[in-house]
Chain A
Amino acid sequence: MKKLTVIIGLVCSGLVVVAALVSLVWTPFDPRKVDGPARFAPPGWPHVLGTDAFGIDTASRLLVGAQTTLLVGVVAVALAAVIGVPLGVFVGMGHRIAGEVVARASDILFALPALLLAILLAAALGASVTTAAVAIGIATIPVFQRMARAATLTVMSQDYILAAQVSGIPGGVIAIRHVLPNITPVLGVQAAASFSMAILAEAGLSYLGLSAPQSTPTWGRMLHDANLYAAPIQAVIPGVAIAVAVLGFNLLGDGVRDYLDPRMKELR
């Protein structure tokens, strides 16, 4: 069953990656070319998934949209991890006052809902996919910070850390040599989960008009622009695409976690 989870996760997320790669070199039609007379074509030939209100080929937009989807996930997770993990390790390694300050700052950030951040950021910098990804990333910093801190605490209680400390190895070296490698698996799982959360969050922001403009093909924006009554299928397609991507990365994360967490294994 665990294997099945990982396989489905791999297939779903793999589909997204393949779609993004394919769209770099080829799409069936120009994903920005308006074709008035062809608007709202039902799925068929030559428009495999039909066309939208502009007569733009939905399949092409879907493929290109995969790029944006991945971009959002990568930017958000990378930002959150690059800032959150060092802070978490730093706090976890036992700097008392600095730790308290970081923890409180992280509390404030955590208390600021991601959406509020995104709204403010979009207001300050303008709504775009990048703004949305950055906002989601910032909002995810505390998640990584806390996760890294907890994992670091566990590692720090191990005897080999004590041994290292006793032999006078500086904290920075311990952090890089012993702590980081040991907390990486946990963070990897978190990264997969945050990745899918970021995709979902971006779809929400798109829905509120706080992410991509119409000219940028993204799944969230396609869903936002879809007319539920004139062509419901044009809402279902991006909706399913989002679900597949989120499901894929979620399952992947779960699969990896199950694999790493010995408690999840059946006892002999």
Chain B
Amino acid sequence: MRSTRFGVAVAAVLAVTTLLTGCGGPTPTVSTGKSLTIGVTLEPPTLDFTVSDAASIPQALLYNVYETLVKIDAAGEIKPLLATDYSVSSDDKTYTFQLDPKATFASGTPVTADAVVSSINRMRQGTSQILQRGLSVIDHVRAVDDGTVEVTLSSPSNFWLYAMTSTPGIILDPAVTDLATAPMGSGPYVFDSWAKGDRITLKKNPDYWGTPGRFNDVAFRYIPDPNAMVSAMLSGDLDIMGEMISPDSLAQFSNSEAYTIISGTTNGEVVLGFNHDRSTLKDRLVRQAICYAIDRQGLVDTVWGGQGTVIGSMTVPTDPYYEDLAGAYPYDPAKAKQLLAEAGVTNLALSLRVPITPYAPPAATYIASQLGEIGVTVTVEELDFSSRWLPEVYRDGNYDMTIVSHVEARDIVNFANPKYYWHYDNADFRSALEKADTAAPKDFVPDMKVAARILADDAAADFLFDFPNLIVARAGIVGIGENATSLSFDVTTIAAKE
């Protein structure tokens, strides 16, 4: 493969920002020594991210407790963290990381090359699919010297370094024994306690090697009930409502002297997934008809209080290769009916089996009503996510349509896996994606745009909207990233003004 300047270019940017190491530029009037309570919805089943892919684990721990060699900042750029710098070999297969000599784990142990190597190797054993997908491309890892780590890939991958900014790249304290309940990392906060069903509390790492945390403790409170979340915020119990899951209640926080509303983007594409194993849905005309029949802006307005960006493919605005394809299937029920007729489909009846999440059942109600308008009978079923949606829809493919927000970054790759629950099998798309992954960095973005367009043209799914990063903070809380570019709820940049 060809050599690349991608890594070098990034490294140049990093050199300038090295000293900032993840700071979002706090105002001078910050106070330290207070506590921060963040209301979020889903509690992790376990804290062991090598076993579980639950997004709630990195939400609380990534960048706060665990650190990675490189991180993603709020603008979607790769920034240094434990590594001050890195370089890529000319064949794009070998990455050499220079570790920050100051870096230590919270336990006091320095972050050495050996620790990094053993951590990465440990991660490669993990059962988590995210870990396996991110790390399977690694051929071997070795410590060049105390402060230098060399990772050799089996083939070049534009996705790899990006994956290393998330859970696959977490560098564990070698002393950690119980990942499920006692995480140990090198971040500005250390894990303090987990009151199951209630909260996870982090406390300040007093010996943090970089810019110290600004709060003595940070609590993630788990409040699944949307009304209860709003009540907690309104009664002054929360500093930040980390996930505003009832956007209709936003009006309660319109007083800008008391609250700040942050509305940005996330990596979550809310997708109306089709089961491509179903004969009717194999037909592109039928899929396109469904896409034309759904008024996505209307859906966002009705289901998510008008918050969220209508998208047209499996990409979100913070992706470097994002292209606005939202106009691909404008709302046109007449056209939808015509396409159905063209496809020769009459009396179409489809199941819409959705997981119980704040967004999916309402979206299903909306979609069922709209598809009813073009004569498609939709039977909605709500399934518990872990215990029923996963085995029945995800594993066994027992569904026609479903709605899920795919929260991981760059999860467009899932469309290249015919075994993935959509059973989408498109050789053109696969080769386009493969081409982009292994392409020279300068070709990555245009190649990805091609791949994304294939999905849109093929109506591989109906890409409903980009899940908004909707956050309410009490006045005085600053530094919250507008766009959630990673799975982390990154508190390292947050401060409280007095």
Contacts and interface: CB of A to CB of B under 8 A. Distances in A.
Nearest to B352: A215
The 8 closest A-B pairs by CB, nearest first: A34-B369, A230-B248, A36-B302, A229-B249, A213-B382, A215-B380, A214-B361, A228-B227
B302 A40 contact: no
Interface of B: 226-227, 230-231, 234, 246, 248-249, 251-252, 295, 298, 301-302, 356, 361-362, 364-366, 368-370, 372, 380-384, 387-388
Given A229-B227, A230-B248, A32 B366 contact: no
Contacts of A32: 365, 368-369, 372
A127 B384 contact: yes
A7 to B, nearest CB: 36
Contacts of A229: 227, 230, 234, 246, 248-249, 251-252
Contacts of B302: 34, 36, 39, 53-55
Contact of A53 (B234, B362, B368, B383): B362
B249 A213 contact: no
Interface residues on A, range: 20 to 34
Interface of A: 32-34, 36, 39-40, 53-55, 123, 126-127, 209, 213-215, 225, 227-231
A127 B380 CA distance: 12
Contacts of B384: 123, 127
Nearest to A32: B369
A33 B372 CA distance: 9
A36 B382 contact: no
Per DSSP, chain B at the interface is: helix
Contacts of A209: 356, 382
A227 B246 contact: yes
B279 to A, nearest CB: 25
Contacts of B234: 229
A146 B10 CA distance: 76
A54 B299 CA distance: 10
A36 B370 CA distance: 11
A93 B381 CA distance: 46
A250 to B, nearest CB: 27
A61 to B, nearest CB: 12
A213 B383 CA distance: 9
Contacts of B370: 34
Nearest to A230: B248
A34 B380 CA distance: 14
Contacts of A215: 364-365, 368, 380
A34 B381 CA distance: 17
Nearest to B380: A215
A39 B380 CA distance: 21
Contacts of B251: 229-230
B272 to A, nearest CB: 15
Nearest to A40: B248
A126 B249 contact: no
Contacts of B381: 126, 213
Contact of B365 (A123, A214, A231): A214
A215 B252 CA distance: 28
Nearest to B249: A229
Contacts of B226: 227
A214 B227 contact: no
Given A215-B380, A230-B249, 11 more contacts: A32-B369, A34-B302, A36-B295, A36-B298, A36-B366, A54-B365, A213-B381, A213-B382, A215-B365, A225-B362, A229-B230
A209 B372 CA distance: 25
Nearest to B305: A230
